[in-house]
Amino acid sequence: MKISMQEGLPIVSVSLVYKGNTIFLENVLLDTGGSTTIFDTDEVEGVGLTIDRKNGRPKRMYGVGGESELC
């Protein structure tokens, strides 16, 4: 895996495979201290990976500026 530093942050490219479908994501933040992996739901929808609202537990994540994203 090639890690590049952009503005002091480790950035990678990722191939994500889900049910035989593949998507290539660029400019993904490598969070070395994270206990979970989070992808933008809009980005991974292209391979059929969606939030299971019946059996799953979607969470709202908050970032800089207080904007929230459903993960």
State how far the Cα of 28 lies from the Cα of 39, in Å rounded to an integer.
Answer: 9
Beta sheet of 9-18, edge-to-edge order: 4-6, 9-18, 21-29
Residue 15 banded pLDDT, cuts 50, 70, 90: very high
pLDDT of 13 above 90: yes
**Torsion over CA: 35, 40, 18, 30 (sign):** negative
State how far the Cα of 69 lies from the Cα of 61, in Å rounded to an integer.
Answer: 5
pLDDT at 70: 73
Residues 34-64: tens digit of each pLDDT? 777 788 888 888 899 888 778 877 778 777 7
Please compute the mean of the pLDDT values over residues 12-39 and round it to a whole number: 89
Q: Which residue has the tokens 């503005």?
A: 7
